[in-house]
Amino acid sequence: MPSLTVKTIGQAEATPAHLARPSIAVIAMLFCGYLAVGLPLPVIPLFVHDKLGFSNLVVGLVIGIQFLATVLTRGYAGHVTDHHGGKRSALQGAAFCALGGLLYLVSATQGLSPVVSLAIVIAGRLVAGLGESQFVTGCVSWSIASVGPQRAGMSMSWTGIAMFAALAIGAPVGMSLYQQLGLQAAMTACIAAPLLAACIALGATSYVSPAGQRLPFYRVISQIWREGLGLMLQGVGLSGLTAFASLYFAMRGWSDAGLVMTAFGVGFILMRLVFGHLPDRIGGYRVALWSLGIEAVGQAVLWAAPYEIVALAGAFVTGLGCALVFPALGVEALKRVLPANRGSAMGAFVAFLDIAYGIAGPTAGLVAGHFGYASVYLFGAVSAIVGAVLVLISRRSAC
């Protein structure tokens, strides 16, 4: 059991001593709460298209609007975290996520017109986006605070595994509930998951935000934008896998497209479990540089793959490369800001990844339309190389 010895950190009140590993309670609540993101992913499109009868364009807008709400509220999430701590932000986020699930549930009420149901779903997506923004920013910052900035990379590796696992488990569970028991069952799970996370949070130790000058969000962005762009360029490869792997495999006559994300996930989690400590040990820029290079190799293998097994190997190598970019560049982003602004820095940093996922898919679609599906992965490889060059420039500017 971790020691509850306290030490002064230059503030009027004391905070618990740093842990050797990220708080298990924070990691557990992040997993539970992030299930509310994964559970509705395969369900909402089917409900909007098949049950309500709207077009694919409407489906895309409904799914994408949560991304918009998340990006636009990252600044607020960072503000809450810096002023009131990660626990407060995470609890608020969990409440909004549960409210989003409740709105999804209401949208399936008998007797509502399709337009009214759609409007309620959209409201749910917006509320869930606000909740996700606060919840993730709060949990990531809270986890870092539990171990201190000297272990920030390891902390971000653990939180990333929790989020990835929640997506990997939540999506199939949500689909199974929807198919077997209906939308009400799937959306009830969306309410229960963040409420369970909130219950875990209530009993977890809080860590006080360091005192100091709080900068406006735009000032924080101006300090970490290089690291954010590097993260953004890393996200292109993953976006290409999630959006076009099935079409690419079908075009080549390969049958195991469902294993692409499995191969990626195995590589991703393996790298974080075995080497998640490296950003803290040898420096974030060095790890990010090597990681982006590995991602570029994986994307290039996917682009040139003559056989299905080679393409799956490319997805595995891409997972190895993507795994440590977030914690590596996150460590360096935190070094660029004052301790009192770490919550805002994390909010801004994650927003770059949100933006990457929002624009990389449509951009890769244009590339695929003009040059074929394989070119999506050449685009991903080039993006990773550009990201590596940017990391080199950032490292020199930090010296």
For the segment 360-397, what is each residue's pLDDT rounded down to a tens digit? 777 888 888 889 889 999 999 999 999 999 999 888 77
* Angstrom distances, CA of residue 239 to CA of 179, 234, 398: 27, 9, 29
Last residue of a domain, one of 146, 169, 202: 202
Instruction: Tell me whether residue 4 is in a domain.
Output: no
153 plus 120 within the same structural domain: yes
Residues 220-258: tens digit of each pLDDT: 888 888 999 999 999 888 888 877 887 888 889 988 877
Residues 130-162: tens digit of each pLDDT: 999 999 989 988 888 888 878 888 888 888 889
Please tell me what DSSP assigns to residue 210: P
d(CA 131, CA 207): 21
- Provide the CATH number for the domain around residue 39: 1.20.1250.20
166 plus 255 within the same structural domain: no
Q: CA triplet 89, 177, 259: central angle to 5 degrees?
A: 85
337 plus 381 within the same structural domain: yes
Residues 257-313: tens digit of each pLDDT: 778 878 888 899 899 889 988 998 898 999 999 999 999 999 999 999 999 999 999
225 plus 188 within the same structural domain: no
* Helix, strand, coil shares, percent, the chain, to 5: 80, 0, 15
264 plus 384 within the same structural domain: yes
Tokens representing 260? 């692409």
Q: CA triplet 358, 135, 131: central angle to 5 degrees?
A: 65
Show the domain range for 30. 18-202
Instruction: Tell me whether residue 381 is in a domain.
Output: yes
40 plus 157 within the same structural domain: yes
Last residue of a domain, one of 145, 178, 202: 202
**In 10 A of CB 225, how many CB atoms?**
17
197 plus 252 within the same structural domain: no
Residues 195-216: tens digit of each pLDDT: 999 999 998 877 766 666 677 7
Rg of the chain (C-alpha set): 21
25 plus 149 within the same structural domain: yes
